[in-house]
A = this chain, B = another copy of it.
Amino acid sequence: MGWLGPEEWQAVALSLRVSLVATLVSLPLGVFVAHALARWRFPGHALLNGLVHLPLILPPVVTGYLLLLTFGAQGPMGRVLEALGMSIAFRWTGAALAAGIMAFPLMVRAIRLSIEAVDPRLEEAAATLGAPRARVFATVTLPLILPGVLAGAVLAFAKAMGEFGATITFVSNIPGQTQTLPSAVYAFLQVPGREDSAIRLVLVSVAIAMAALVLSELLARRMARRVAGG
């Protein structure tokens, strides 16, 4: 398509990949953390909760900077990953990490709210039927919170599609490697007279995120209808 140049298509493809991977990889952890925060009492509960919300509170640039310090060549995690041959700094995997971390609080909050809304008496009933905690979760809690998980995932995906500050600070803006849609938009906005290119990219990103939103609404409504028996 002549509308976007090859480098721009690359940014679109990369953003999609980064956001999808960030969302899908963090989803199980998100569900786990949300469940822990919603249903367990343990020392460090408040600490974990705070930690999860940190990326929301910090200016994204700061989060990116902290990631750079941690996962950069000199950083503690960076050295470890380097030694394992799995360096993520300045790779698309790093962009996914940044996007995932920035989106994590949104995902966890959404899932946690759904878990808190599940009637614990149903979980009790499952326990009396012989299901241990993990099975109760998998067969009762999880199916009942699917709409919330979906909402959380889509929220996270949308956030990941729009994430810029942390990503560009952490993994820079290398086309094909780490240049996501928002980074490309930023780069265009820095050059006089390239606003039109920026706007085209913005429209693409809005279209993608909207499609994800509409799809998730439809799915969620279907799930809800099945449970309500309407």
Contact = CB atoms under 8 A, between A and B. Distances in A.
A90 interface: no
B113 A185 contact: no
A59 interface: yes
Which of under 10, 10 to 19, 20 to 34, or 35 or more describes the interface residues of A?
Answer: 35 or more
Interface string A47-72: 00110011011111110010000000
Interface of A: 46, 49-50, 53-54, 56-62, 65, 105-106, 109-110, 112-114, 116-117, 120, 147-148, 151, 155, 158-159, 161-165, 181-182, 185-186, 189, 198, 202, 205-206, 209-210, 213-214, 217, 224, 228
Q: Which of A57, A105, A165 has most B Cβ within 10 Å? A: A57
Q: How many copies does the complex hold?
A: 2
Contact of A206 (B58, B60, B147, B214): B58
A53 B213 contact: yes
A35 to B, nearest CB: 15
Contact of A165 (B62, B110, B116, B165): B165
A104 to B, nearest CB: 13
Main secondary structure of the interface of A (DSSP, over half): helix
B109 A58 contact: no
A213 B182 contact: no
A158 B186 CA distance: 24
Given A58-B205, A113-B148, 20 more contacts: A46-B217, A49-B217, A50-B210, A56-B159, A56-B209, A59-B163, A59-B181, A59-B185, A60-B165, A61-B186, A62-B198, A105-B155, A106-B106, A106-B155, A110-B113, A112-B151, A113-B113, A113-B114, A116-B147, A116-B224
Nearest to A205: B57
Nearest to A63: B162
Contacts of A209: 53, 56-57
